[in-house]
Structure 1
Amino acid sequence: MKQIKWSLLMYAILAAVSIMGIGVAIAEKSLIGIAGCIIALIAIMGMGFKTKKKLRERGEL
């Protein structure tokens, strides 16, 4: 059985919440909210990929 990588799971959950936030911001017609959620999504996804690369380089993935 594979070990759960909790940090990667947390990044995935946060990215999903950011995507939902974009939808809510669109429904509310909030350009600031849309922009904020998109920026948050890009930052979270970047950190997740960076963490995954580090884990792969250390052989933990």
Structure 2
Amino acid sequence: MKQIKWIFVMYAVLATASIMGIGVAISEKSVIGVMGSILLVVLVMGMGFKTKRKMRENGQI
């Protein structure tokens, strides 16, 4: 059985919440909210990929 990597679950939840934030900002007609949510998605996804690369290099996954 594989071990759950909780850090990746956290990144996935944060990315999902940020994507949902884009939808909420669109419905509220907030350009700043849309831009902020897009920026947050990019940052969270980037951190997730960076973490995965480091863990792979260290042999943790």
For structure 2, list consecutive stretches of 5 or more residues without a partner in the other structure.
none
Aligned-residue sequence identity (percent) comes to 64
CA–CA distance in structure 1, aligned partners of residues 5 and 54 of structure 2: 13
After TM superposition, the runs of 4+ consecutive aligned structure 1 residues lying more than 2 A away are none
Taking only aligned residues, the RMSD between alpha carbons, in angstroms, comes to: 0.5
Q: More relative contact order in 1 or in 2 (CA 8 Å, sep 6+)?
A: 1
1:43 corresponds to: 43
TM-score, normalization by structure 2: 0.97
List alignment gaps of at least 5 residues for structure 1: none
User: What does 1:27-42 correspond to in 2, within 5 Å?
Assistant: 27-42=27-42
The DSSP-based 3-state class of the residue aligned with 1:60 is coil
Q: TM (normalized to structure 1)?
A: 0.97
Q: Would you say how many aligned residue pairs link Structure 1 and Structure 2?
A: 61
